[in-house]
Chains A and B, each alone.
Chain A
Amino acid sequence: MKITFVYPAFERHADAHPELKAWVPANEYIGPPSLGIACVAAATPPGHTVEFIDDRVTPFNVDHESDLFALSFFTPAATRAIEIADALRARGKRVVAGGIFPSMMPEAVASHFDAVVVGEGEPVWADVVNDAEHGALRPRYSAPPADLAPLVPPQVDLYLGAERDGYRPDDYPLQISRGCPLHCDACVLPEYLAPKMRFHSMDYLTATMKRYAAAGKLASFTEDTSFFPQARRGFRELIELCVKLQGEGLNLRLSYIGISLPIILNLDPTLLADLKRTGIDRFYVVGGFDPVTRGAFGPGDPKMLDKAVRAIARCHEFGIDPYVSFLVGNRDDDEGTFDRMLEFTRVAKIDLAEFCISTPYPGTPIWRRYNDEGRVFDRAWKHYNDANIVFRPHNMTPERLFEGYLYLWREFYQGRARDMSERPHTRSTIQF
């Protein structure tokens, strides 16, 4: 069979609000797709051909020919995914859904697809392909958390092959583990990937890093969980491995690590120094998830604000650039939150940031809570992209939250055009 994987498009901040393009003097970065399709494609049984279409880069043509279409998508892309699936099925094509949104909301997509994969794809993908080959697709395949030990590395060549002029991501993600035992309000991972942490082998990670290096790509670490007790020792070994591979002449370059301010604040200085040794020069920090930034920006707790400032100072001390993603619209946020955030950026000397609206994604604790409280008023999934208000906030109107979101973007970047134009590519490029 010929199997076509499709990554459906979704709206980004500047797509939803074009005025941002005038206000933000930064280069727009279109990042790589999430690793889901590359992981599942690698688990395809022998005897089939696979191809990949990134709908963000090359808009999907519904007349495209294939024996089986597999769409992997998260919430912002669900509207477009359903549109593609409906068009394909109108032509009699077989279409399978997988990824975060279908896993969290299978009943919302079931009528648009021949089959829905709930959970991680690898454990059931061979069954899906086999059933499709024999014309016997089942409506739902429920996958247990995958055993990571036997997995082969993700087929990232599919992604590299989809690059075009104007779309050449600098970096691709390296998945170190799956699962998280925490229950953060806005995160879907414990529900989607299960609370128990599982780890990829060093062979798996090495093979993926070597492929990125061969393609001239940087590898990014997106997981805050790498700093947790069960994960830390393995992570330190991975850092040592990176240094060793670099010492052996591999062109392995690392771009950033996803991390939160409380972890930066308390992190063992030797680990910070080791991270720097690998060439990592950026932390991607999400503010608004954790108790420190929630306390600092919500009620304006001076102790928490001081902690947040000290965490950023620590990044600067170690020569690591903190790129902060501010999440606004949390439970304790009020109309003073916007100016508190801006004041923090000034005091902490943050010079690269993005601003996002807290969004109750299906499967997260706040999705359940806000629905129970009757706060969710918009179920157009394409609006679930951190750039639209889909719920009634606690301490302000939806309109005021939206104005505050735009105000943050405008005020933060006002007067920075010259500074931004003089910076190197990586320090003048953001996703928005």
Chain B
Amino acid sequence: MGTTKEKVADRVFGILSELAAIPRGDIRGGDRLREDLGLDSMQNMELLSRVAEEFNIDPDMDKVMKVVTVDEVVTLLAGHIGVGE
């Protein structure tokens, strides 16, 4: 089974739950990583690093620095992988 945007989202939510110590079900796509989930910049990096490693991609740091919400993380990574809905 190939990678889908849903799979990417699943991993993003899973790692976010671990890093932010928030139950997975409490995380919403529109949540802001810093303001709503309390992640600092290094935790943002770790989130992106882990998912990027798992899906074998190297997202450009210029773009990584600009993500604000959970949905934007998923869209950035899915765009690199080249998967849709």
Show the binding face of A for B, using Cβ within 8 Å. Answer: 181-182, 195-197, 227-230, 232-234, 236, 260, 262-263, 265-268, 290-292
Determine whether the beta carbon of A181 is less than 8 Å from that of B40: no
Q: Given A260-B42, A266-B43, do A230 and B53 touch, yes or no (CB 8 Å)?
A: no
Q: How far is A230 from B59 in the complex, measured between Cα atoms in Å?
A: 6
Q: Given A263-B46, A267-B46, do A230 and B41 touch, yes or no (CB 8 Å)?
A: no
Main secondary structure of the interface of A (DSSP, over half): helix
Q: Given A197-B61, A230-B61, do A266 and B52 touch, yes or no (CB 8 Å)?
A: no
Determine whether the beta carbon of B43 is less than 8 Å from that of A262: yes
Q: How far is A232 from B55 in the complex, measured between Cα atoms in Å?
A: 12
Separation in Å of the B63 CB from the closest CB of chain A?
A: 9
Taking CB atoms and an 8 Å cut-off, the chain B residues in 44-85 that contact chain A are 45-46, 48-50, 52-53, 56-62, 64-65
Residues of B within 8 A of A233 (CB): 52-53, 56-58
Q: How far is A181 from B62 in the complex, measured between Cα atoms in Å?
A: 7
Residues of A within 8 A of B27 (CB): none
Determine whether the beta carbon of B61 is less than 8 Å from that of A236: no
Interface range on chain B (Cβ under 8 Å from partner): 20 to 34
Q: Given A227-B49, A266-B19, do A290 and B56 touch, yes or no (CB 8 Å)?
A: no
Residues of B within 8 A of A196 (CB): 61-62
Q: How far is A242 from B42 in the complex, measured between Cα atoms in Å?
A: 26
Nearest B residue to A264 by beta-carbon distance?
B42
Determine whether the beta carbon of A262 is less than 8 Å from that of B40: yes
In the complex, number of A-B residue pairs with CB atoms less than 8 Å apart? 64
Nearest A residue to B45 by beta-carbon distance?
A228
In the A-B complex, the 4 residue pairs with the closest CB atoms: A262-B42, A266-B46, A229-B48, A181-B61
Residues of A within 8 A of B19 (CB): 266
Residues of A within 8 A of B62 (CB): 181, 195-196
Separation in Å of the B8 CB from the closest CB of chain A?
A: 14
Determine whether the beta carbon of B64 is less than 8 Å from that of A268: no
Q: Given A266-B19, A268-B50, do A229 and B61 touch, yes or no (CB 8 Å)?
A: yes
Separation in Å of the A408 CB from the closest CB of chain B?
A: 25
Determine whether the beta carbon of A229 is less than 8 Å from that of B49: yes
Determine whether the beta carbon of A232 is less than 8 Å from that of B52: yes
Nearest A residue to B77 by beta-carbon distance?
A229
Nearest A residue to B48 by beta-carbon distance?
A229
Residues of A within 8 A of B48 (CB): 229
Q: How far is A260 from B62 in the complex, measured between Cα atoms in Å?
A: 21
Nearest B residue to A266 by beta-carbon distance?
B46
